[in-house]
Structure 1
Amino acid sequence: MASFQANLLNQKIYAPYKIAALLDTVAEQGISADQVLRGLNLSQAALADPATLVSIKQYVDACTNVIDAGANLATPFETATRLHLTAYGMYGYALLTSPTMRDYFSFGVKYHPLATPTLYMTWRETDASAVFEFKETYSYITSIKTRNFLIQQQMAQNITHIRDAAGPSLFPIKALLSYSGKDVEQIHEKYLLCDCYFNQEVNEIHYPKSILDQSPILGNQLSIKLLQETCNQLLGRTKMSTGVTGEVYQILLMSPNSFPTMEAVANLLCITTRTLRRKLDAELTSYREILDDARCTLATEYLLVTKMSTEDIAARLGFSDSANFRRAFRRWTGKTPHQVREETQN
């Protein structure tokens, strides 16, 4: 998994939510968007476009830019506190609906490649603790400051996300850091909410083992099954195990608020529209069929996981009105949106 994750570095397959959170954080320090986005070939306007996809490398480079611009030492932690699980699409919803926190831990690690990962994450259970460990993946990052920034943000995100699921009364036991704590001890303890030990051989967060059998606030056995299936599909497409069809499907699922056109998808894949159509024909499918599949998957998940109205779901999936959405949904599933939602509640 670590080598697979390393291969994701330059793939523009992620929504730009992390870059947007970083921009908001440093804007309060007087650092401009131009400074953050320098060299990324990305505009601030593009960040507001739901069809925009970015790479992990672009985010890492943005972090280096804010460090060079003089961002304060709390920046990685402050950015992390803005990145709640709801920012992560279906991956985040799946974590929130995990039946137990043990399931949450395992799911979070297995599907971490869907979350614009900057580190490789594992977890283990000891006699007293549930431990997350974070390892560096990308050898091209030579700046110690950038590497430490990413570790700090990832660890703070981990705590933010677990408290999103388990509630604000949960606190870690301790954090182990691989770098010096000079000048940053108090900042770490403020944001990591526990005693921090520096100059260690690992980067770890230890939680009370007792949380593993607790249920997340929004735990839902039915929802997690559907969401896990979707994340399996997303992960499979991320691994590019199903040819061009998988790549197109992945791009569409990563852009649920405004699906890119076939021409835009072809551009993302660095091929012509004609070539994309020919490749999909060879795989016995079409852009329209893949788009319908993605819309059906997302619509079902929104019905099961959220309280969004049919009108809001229709608008999010690009339908001109709710009547057209209901007809399409019945064609895809044989059921109405109301029936699917009612089955979940019964």
Structure 2
Amino acid sequence: MDDLPFIPVIYMHRMVDMLREEHIDTDQVLRECGINPALMNRPDTMLTARQTRILISKYMGLSSVTYPGVRFGQRLDLVTHGLLGFVFFWEGSFQDMLSNIVAFLRVRFPLMHFELRQGADYFSFDIRCDKRIRDIEPFLIQTVIGSITGLGRMLTQRISIHCRQETFRDLKTLQSMLKADAAYTDDDNSVRFYTSGIQLKSTSDGSSKEQETNEGIEEHGFVIKLRNLLLENLQANHGAEEISSLMGMSVRTMRRRLANLGMNFNSIRTDVRMQIAMRYLTTTNISIERIADFVGYSDQTTFTRAFREWKGHTPNEIRQRRVRTQNNCTES
């Protein structure tokens, strides 16, 4: 089992980036794990379970950050998962989109188990590991929770974490890191995405609950449509007035519906822009000035300022990190 393909290299690439940021000799670490550093620049390659286990163990031992699995997971964005186009162009329901993401992740991570359950006013993304990788289970669970929570915020601001105590010993730190409520459970670790910002009230026959749940799902379909329109009109730099018109509603109605979900137009537009910018920065040599123009910014300075606020790094820092990684692989 240890020699079976376990995880795509592109995920471990993010881990190597984080080790470099802590000034750790990543080439030495990779060789100690039996990994040729040159492989890290081949996203189609899969690491074996043994290589992954050793690399994660070393990462946990060398990293100085709290809950390194969560920090790692927060780096795994839509681009890394290969879900960017899928999420932006999805035209089905919110529930169907989540179901398809679960199916996708099952293929990506064959030794992890993901289930999607629907509650009264939420969808629960349940996570557990195959018993054969229990030694690194806490890290893997932390990683998935860190990543899924970040992706979920694209659609709802109301998220809660339900975890086993052996996965997270300190709930207060977890809540601070993920900006979400957290509680211990004896069941599988899970992330809940709530379909509305209002707690649903049950009735004797359950009809009101079902109606409100469906309305919540419909609202998230509305957010998906909004993101699609922003993506389709990226370079046009449409504001709230233009987008609301394309959606067939007043700007006031659009803002109200977003507010009910704990969202606002500007933050969604920024996230759409930056997800696309991140893809171009990490996969192409297109100039930063051209990327800024393509994602709707009038000049590179404004784009750089917005990108730093969103990512914590400038576009040039992201680009230079990729160049250093490629150079290291070439030298190896």
Question: Which of 105, 111, 121 matches 1:128?
Answer: 121
What is the identity, as a one-letter code, of the residue corresponding to 2:194? P
Q: Which residue of 2 aligns with 1:95?
A: 87
Q: Determine helix, strand or coil for the equivalent of 1:54.
A: strand
Question: Counterparts in 2 of 1:171-210, with a 5 A limit?
Answer: 171-172=158-159, 174-180=160-166, 184-198=170-184, 200-210=186-196
Q: Which residue of 2 aligns with 1:163?
A: 153
Q: Using the TM superposition, give the Cα deviation of residue 85 of structure 1 relative to its aligned residue in structure 2, in angstroms.
A: 0.9
C-alpha contact (below 8 Å) 1:175/1:194 kept by paired residues? yes
- The answer to whether the aligner puts 1:86 opposite 2:79 as a matched pair is yes
Q: Which residue of 1 aligns with 2:101?
A: 108
When normalised by structure 1's length, the TM-score is 0.52
Q: Distance in 2 between matches of 1:136 and 1:187?
A: 23
What is the identity, as a one-letter code, of the residue corresponding to 1:82? R
Q: Which residue of 2 aligns with 1:20?
A: 13
**Identity of matched residues, %:** 15
Moved over 4 A (4+): 180-183, 306-309
Q: Distance in 2 between matches of 1:121 and 1:108?
A: 10
Q: What whole-Å deviation, never above 9, does each CA across 1:216-255 have from its counterpart, x for those lacking one?
A: 25449xx9xxxxxxxxxxxxxxxxxxxxxxxxxxxxxxxx
Consecutive unaligned residues of structure 2, counting only runs of 5 or more, are 197-215, 233-275, 285-332
C-alpha contact (below 8 Å) 1:118/1:150 kept by paired residues? no
| 1:203–1:150 Cα change, 3 Å | same
Q: Distance in 2 between matches of 1:154 and 1:13?
A: 15
C-alpha contact (below 8 Å) 1:56/1:118 kept by paired residues? no
What is the identity, as a one-letter code, of the residue corresponding to 2:172? Q
- The answer to whether the aligner puts 1:212 opposite 2:217 as a matched pair is yes
What is the identity, as a one-letter code, of the residue corresponding to 1:159? T
Q: Distance in 2 between matches of 1:46 and 1:103?
A: 35
When normalised by structure 2's length, the TM-score is 0.54
Consecutive unaligned residues of structure 1, counting only runs of 5 or more, are 1-6, 224-305, 314-346
| 1:14–1:150 Cα change, 3 Å | closer
Q: Determine helix, strand or coil for the equivalent of 2:132.
A: coil
For this pair of structures, how many residues does the alignment match? 213
Q: Using the TM superposition, give the Cα deviation of residue 59 of structure 1 relative to its aligned residue in structure 2, in angstroms.
A: 2.9
Q: Distance in 2 between matches of 1:154 and 1:170?
A: 18
